[in-house]
Amino acid sequence: MESFCHKGLLYIKNIPHLELVRYRRVNVQRPAKPHYEKAKVLAVCEPRYPKFNYGLSPEVTCRKQTELKSKKIKEENPYELIIAKECLHWFNQSKMVAFFHANPIKGEDQFKARVMFHKHNMAIKQYGPNVIKYALENTKYSAVLPLFQSRTAVVFSPELQLAQLLKISKRIPQLILMTCIAEDRLLSRNEIVMYSNLPDLTTARAGLVATLNSAVSQVLSNITHHQRTLVSHLQKHAELLQKPEET
């Protein structure tokens, strides 16, 4: 009994082991995409073999490459052309067009941003690169095409409201203001801040009129200074001459 306990009970070891259990079937035809880091490693490790054109002259090789490029030309989408016409209409009818780099944003925050812009009679839009290319290529707005290499949001306003635009952009950190078109001029971020601190056109005109009036009055006072001085001296002299006669 002692030997049985010694050999059978005291020296029995329960070695833990792992069992892999799959709860769903693997889709072999459409496998899941790998993790971002793993995808980068796979992209770097992917082999690339040089393409040799044995037995072909350079002319034939160039001709084949041009044919392949011509076949790869994407056909124009009618729906994208309609959206491009609408986009160009927004650009032509707006006095202020602002461009924001759009970082990932929640749907709720995006709705709040649309509401804030709508309160000041502004509209925020997002277009794809093909639509922007159809709309702005060969126009006066073609200089802003490089801004649409990534996700870009565009804000249109029928009035010039740079101060309100800066206030709203500070409340939405997911949208980063890059540049703005105001009065047919492309402004940088510093120029937008400087432009927003300037008074409106009516106040500026009133200030200009006041400055011109002050300059005119100053010139008139300088011109008539000697005459007024002479007249005052003559009046004092006449008063001095009249005093002895009265006494």
Residue 116 has pLDDT above 60, yes or no: yes
Dump pLDDT digits (tens) for 105-115: 888 888 999 99
Least confident of 12-21, 139-148, 201-210, 225-234: 12-21
What's the rounded Cα separation, in Å, for the pair 71 and 136?
A: 25
Bigger pLDDT: 82 vs 10: 82
Interatomic CA distance for residues 175 and 99, integer angstroms? 9
Q: Are 123 and 189 in contact (CB under 8 A)?
A: no
Q: CA distances (Å), 172 to each of 102, 138, 164, 166, 197, in order? A: 10, 33, 13, 10, 21
All structural domains of the chain? 78-196 (3.30.70.1730)
Q: Which pairing describes strands 152-157 and 96-102: parallel, antiparallel, or unpaired?
A: antiparallel
- pLDDT tens for 194-212 read 887 877 777 778 878 888 7
Residue 104 has pLDDT above 80, yes or no: yes
d(CA 162, CA 198): 10
Q: Chain-wide mean pLDDT for the chain?
A: 80
d(CA 173, CA 15): 55
pLDDT in tens, 50-82: 665 656 666 666 666 666 555 555 567 788 889
pLDDT in tens, 34-43: 888 888 898 8
- Counting every residue written for the chain, the total comes to 247
Secondary structure of the chain in HEC code, one letter for each residue: CHHHHHHHHCCCCCCCCCCCCCCCCCCCCCCCCCCHHHHHHHHHHCCCCCCCCCCCCHHHHHHHHHHHHHHCCCCCCHHHHHHHHHHHHHHHHCCEEEEEEECCCCHHHHHHHHHHHHHCCCEEEECCHHHHHHHHCCCCCHHHHHHHHCCEEEEEECCCCHHHHHHHHHHCCCEEEEEEEECCEEECHHHHHHHHCCCCHHHHHHHHHHHHHHHHHHHHHHHCHHHHHHHHHHHHHHHHHHHHHHC
Identity at 24, one-letter amino acid code: R
Given pLDDT bands bounded at 50, 70 and 90, which one contains residue 226? confident
Q: Which amino acid is present at 177?
A: L
How many Cβ atoms from other residues are within 10 Å of residue 37's Cβ? 8
Q: What angle do CA 52, 55, 61 make, to 5 degrees?
A: 65
Q: What confidence score (pLDDT) does residue 78 get?
A: 85
pLDDT at 25: 73
If one compares 66 and 29, the residue with the highest pLDDT of the two is 29
